[in-house]
Chain A
Amino acid sequence: MNWLSNFVRPKISAMVGKKEVPDNMWRKCPECGQMIFHRELEENLYVCPHCDHHLRLHMGQRLDLLFDGEGYQKIELPESVSDPLKFRDRKKYTDRLKDARSASGDNDAIIVSHGKIGGVPVVAAILNFDFMGGSMGLAVGEAILSAARLAVLQEAPLIMITASGGARMQEGILSLMQMPRSILAVNKVKEAGLPYITILTDPTSGGVSASFAMRGDIAMAEPGAVICFAGARVIEETIHEKLPEGFQRAEYLLDHGMVDMVVHRRDMRDTLARVLNLLCNPGPPAHVVAIPPSTISAKNGAAKTRNGGNKKNAAPHRRSTDKKDAGKD
């Protein structure tokens, strides 16, 4: 029996079963209920061709969509404590982690990568909702810190793509402590004068939205994404009222002034590229008018010429290289 199940059966299935046929050729749109052929869905970036509903993307799909053609590189993340409380509910936390790790191939609910978007080198951190609801514990906090440090080191903007139910309950209070920790992390990027751009996808809530997710210099959201602090069910149970139409959706947040823009998935990379180029390639330095030497000291005059005097430099100029002195603190 052992030999049969352990050796023969895998061999046979390896020979006959390795065709790449998706389990489901058709997928039902959760919004309009129409059936969509898998190839059509894929070509349409997992946006329903009937109602434009943005279905949730897997991490790999998200990464492919984000970067320029040359792709991206994942960075290795430092290890952190995986079960600080020795937590157990109906199941051990370590077992839940093991399952999520083998299903995703990643160590936790986040990956950090770097590559180019619109020609601008960036660091991107992406939360994986498929990994325990994209929840934030020590490992996610540590990864955000790594991403921020890398961005500062590379003088690159930090792009944060969120998809999370909030804090990782199984890490108790230490998951709550990742809120200040992640804010400190993204502030390192801001203090270095580098852009921190958030892309809020479905869903972004709880401790994640109430920390680094809501602190982007520029906040973009995917259409229809639920972005909130408290979940709709909790609110309904508290106030015993029906919630308004479109409540906590990206468009609702836009109307209430909570995000800068709602961007269709097919336009996301272009929009990002445009924003990044506006911020990182602000153009040639301003034309410098010479001040008569008698009005200023010789020392100040020398400094002025060095900083802004290169009038011929019309080529796009990365702002961050100017920031070398400003950001070191």
Chain B
Amino acid sequence: MHNFLDFEKPLSKLEAKIEDLRHLSDDGDINIADEVAKLQAKSDKILKQLYSKLTPWQKVQVARHPDRPHFSDYMEGLVEDFTPLAGDRAFAEDRAIIGGLGRFRGRTVMLIGHEKGADTNTRMQHNFGMARPEGYRKAIRLMKMADHFGLPVLTLVDTPGAYPGVGAEERGQAEAIACSIETCLGLKVPLVSAVIGEGGSGGAIALAAANKVLMLENAIYSVISPEGCASILWRSGDQAQDAAEAMKLTAQDLLELGVADVVVPEPVGAAHRFPVPAIAALGDAVEEALGELMELDPAALRRQRHEKFLTMGEAEATS
């Protein structure tokens, strides 16, 4: 049973009805099967309609959907022999960011990403994907290790943002993020980042100053949450819809702005309904991106990454 978003209401009734009928069909009445098929077709049509024209605010909701596949799902679906590596060697292990070695389609990679958790227990454990300085420092450590061994790095971004807490501030949240960005930029190995859900501000860019930035079709990536933006600029959090609209935070907007390089299509109805094909689609896109980058030498990889971020926004100046 799905968790239905507000805009998916028309679907929830239909799917409930289909479910009811399916239970009845155990009695062997053939007409009911016909009815189910009809309703299913109707439901599919509505789903297609709804998802063909999602507003930015609706995409925000889809990107944050609790059933949406998270880091662990991609890790299980795409990487063999995953071996998590823990700790920043200075203070603690931060489970908001998971990292480790694994084999992605035959090639050893360093996989790093935010994990939001899938239920109350794991969400608490992973702090809802909001990392503290230790998380970024672990990421830095692992990126440098990948650099040392000449392994490509794949990061999966899915975070509401860096954790705003007393300890996080005391231990240098800002410094940790700055250093993590710097480490991304300095790598001599390919770095591919994929925004799989929510790309929240500094917490996201800390892992995403990459050679190639992929975004899933219904992922978002922004400098501040629409709620935060609304409460500052509109003086009311209720205006989050307007803010989402104005901020241009969808994958399609970011492709146009030159921040995302590739938008990876999701099945109709989004990754939370059909996780398996969504995960596979991301895998294909990552494989393609990595394949291109593996042909570049270390200096060229750095140069390409530097050029990309030094000129970002300049494209708009000339057009």
Contacts and interface: CB of A to CB of B under 8 A. Distances in A.
Contact of B177 (A175, A210, A243): A210
A89 B201 contact: no
B139 interface: no
Contact of B169 (A170, A212, A235): A235
B205 A176 contact: yes
A155 B206 CA distance: 30
Contacts of A138: 313
A248 B166 CA distance: 9
Interface of A: 79-81, 84-85, 87-90, 138, 141, 145, 167, 169-177, 179-181, 183-184, 187, 205-207, 209-215, 227-231, 234-235, 238-239, 241, 243-244, 247-248, 252, 256-258
A25 B224 CA distance: 40
Given A89-B234, A173-B254, A181 B202 contact: no
Interface string B223-257: 11000010011110000001100111100011001
B6 interface: no
B144 to A, nearest CB: 16
B181 A145 contact: no
Contact of B174 (A169, A172, A213): A213
B166 A244 contact: yes
Interface in B158-217: 162-166, 168-175, 177-179, 181-182, 184-185, 201-202, 204-206, 209
Nearest to B164: A230
B41 interface: no
Contact of B175 (A80, A252, A258): A258
Contact of A90 (B209, B233, B309, B316): B233
B261 to A, nearest CB: 13
Contact of A177 (B162, B182, B309): B309
B312 interface: yes
B60 to A, nearest CB: 14
B104 interface: no
B249 A172 contact: yes
Contacts of A179: 178, 181, 202, 205
Interface in B70-96: none
Task: Point out which of B177, B202, B235, B313 has the most chain A C-beta atoms below 10 A from its C-beta.
Answer: B313
Give the bracket for the number of chain B residues in contact with chain A: 35 or more
B247 A209 contact: no
A169 B165 contact: no
Interface of B: 162-166, 168-175, 177-179, 181-182, 184-185, 201-202, 204-206, 209, 221-224, 229, 232-235, 242-243, 246-249, 253-254, 257, 259, 306, 309-310, 312-314, 316-317
B223 A176 contact: yes
Q: What 4 A-B pairs are tightest by C-beta distance, nearest first?
A: A230-B164, A209-B174, A89-B233, A229-B174
B173 A210 contact: yes
B257 A173 contact: yes
A181 B308 CA distance: 9
Contact of B229 (A169, A209, A215, A244): A169
A210 B223 contact: no
Given A206-B202, A256-B171, A238 B165 contact: yes
B181 A207 contact: no
B134 to A, nearest CB: 14
A171 B233 CA distance: 13
Contacts of B223: 167, 169, 171-173, 175-176, 207
Nearest to A206: B202
A243 B209 CA distance: 33
A177 B172 contact: no
B174 A214 contact: yes
B185 A229 contact: no
A244 B166 CA distance: 8
A207 B242 CA distance: 23
A215 B182 contact: yes
Contacts of A228: 169, 174
Task: Point out which of B164, B184, B185 has the most chain A C-beta atoms below 10 A from its C-beta.
Answer: B164
30 contacts: A81-B313, A90-B233, A90-B234, A169-B224, A169-B233, A170-B233, A171-B223, A173-B253, A173-B257, A173-B259, A176-B205, A177-B205, A177-B312, A183-B178, A183-B185, A184-B306, A207-B223, A210-B174, A210-B175, A210-B181, A212-B178, A214-B174, A214-B175, A215-B178, A215-B182, A229-B174, A230-B164, A238-B165, A247-B169, A258-B172
